[in-house]
Structure 1
Amino acid sequence: MATGDQNDMLERLKFTLPPWFPDDSPVLDAVLYGWAAVWAYIYQLLAYVKLQTRILTATDGWLDLIAGDFFGAGLPRKTGQSDTSYRIAIISNIFRERATRNAITRICEDITGRTPIVIEQSRILDFGIYSGPTSFYGATARYGSQLLTTKYQCFVKVYRPLPGSQWDGISDADIYAALDSVRPIDVTIWAQLLN
């Protein structure tokens, strides 16, 4: 007899009866057994509902509802995706860093397994300076500019997943969507996808 099952509920109902009811009555037991079945079902339903109130224990369509509450249509469950896999995706996206250079690097590493090259046009470490420790003068290098009218942009060289790796199957659209999910507002990300 487990807590909350039909036999447990029957014993609880019998315990609440006044002492003048007989201990061994088949008719009374049948009536109480029916009520015990209802209470056992309610107990199991409440236990199930309690599990659905937290991301770590939610299952089935409740995880889809949780994802919809946090992300709208931005994080749908993939066909055949397990609850555990979907839960990990929800939690990692809730706590994901956003709107930084590091966020762009990390999301690319998470979905492709490879580190991208992020280039900001006015960042000296990305371009170098003349007569300085990071000078590229006379060498093959990039040239930046602080005179561009749209300063809020960056260039990202994203390497597609290696064939046969655990990230194989990630499409170009998935990569663009991932970059857009961490992109700061009013920042243009120019992405180049490489093999």
Structure 2
Amino acid sequence: MATGDQSDITSRLRSYLPRGWFGDWSEAPIIGGLIVGIASVLAVAYALVMFFWAQTRLQTSSGGWVDLWASDFLGTGLPRKPGETDASYIQRIQVALFQKKGTRPAMVAVLTQLTGNAPIIFEPNRPLDTGCLGVNSGPASFCGVARMGSLACPYSALITAYRPQVTGGSLGAAYANAVAWSAIRAPTSHGYTGSLADEITIATDADIIATINATRPIGTNIGVCVTNYGVAPAQLDSTFILDASTIS
């Protein structure tokens, strides 16, 4: 018996009746049936009240009510991903609501939260990123940092953001162990264990760019490279240039 269910409400209603009026409940089927019927209706009403009470808080909401929270606070800027659970979506909404913005630490924090990998941020106008001539040691050494900066590039930055690791796809066991298994050898599952189409990612390239646009200060020029973690700089594959005109 749980609070608010039919048995609980039936017990409460019976306790309100004067003792001795009906004797043993087994001997009073009419009043007993009436109370059970009333309790059944009240149990449904109680369940509805508790459900709607839960929807008044983001952390306890569920289903389409979570989507309504996102729409109320963030408009169309944070839609639910296909197949995303309520818990995952609620977490992303909370991050979007309380994430700090407009600073370099905020950019690092939000991209790390989104992708699981810390980005590389280079500001040409920042000596700590470029190094200084005449300094022969330490992190501020030009020879140690080896990146040329320029005072002619204020309010600018280059960001290398790494995609999150995908799950759900594979190239097939026949490629991983072709000697023991092959595509034409039984069982078939040895040769075909999955598909690249089954890959699932928690953040697409578009999500990363949208997050950067939402976090960066107004009026800045940002160059963004989105790549897989561990790829050499010469192989960076997706580059975007963001400026004030991209802000809506």
TM over 0.5: yes
Q: Does 1:61 align with 2:57?
A: no
Per-residue CA deviations over 1:10-45 (Å, capped at 9, x if unaligned) read 232233335685344322222222211111111222
Could you tell me the percent identity over the aligned residues? 36
Structure 1 partner of 2:115: 112
Aligned residues: 191
Q: Which has the higher contact order (CA 8 A, sep 6+)?
A: 1
Structure 1 partner of 2:98: 95
Contact 1:116/1:157, CA 8 A, preserved across alignment: yes
Counterparts of 1:7-156 in structure 2, within 5 Å, are 7-18=7-18, 21-23=21-23, 24-132=27-135, 134=140, 136=142, 141-145=147-151, 147-148=152-153, 151-156=154-159
Structure 2 Cα separation of the partners of residues 16 and 168 of structure 1: 57
Counterparts of 1:179-194 in structure 2, within 5 Å, are 179-193=212-226, 194=236
Any stretches of 5+ residues in structure 2 without a counterpart? 169-198, 227-235, 238-248
| Residue 135 (structure 1) shift | 5.0
Contact 1:161/1:168, CA 8 A, preserved across alignment: no
| Residue 154 (structure 1) shift | 1.8
Residue 22 and residue 54 in structure 1: after superposition, are their counterparts in 2 closer, same or farther (change >3 A)?
Answer: same
| Residue 174 (structure 1) shift | 1.9
Structure 2 Cα separation of the partners of residues 3 and 128 of structure 1: 66
Name the Cα RMSD after superposition.
2.9
What is the TM-score when the length of structure 1 is the normalising length?
Answer: 0.80
What is the TM-score when the length of structure 2 is the normalising length?
Answer: 0.65
Per-residue CA deviations over 1:106-160 (Å, capped at 9, x if unaligned) read 23333333332212232111223333453537x9531312x45xx3332212234
Any stretches of 5+ residues in structure 1 without a counterpart? none
Contact 1:155/1:191, CA 8 A, preserved across alignment: yes
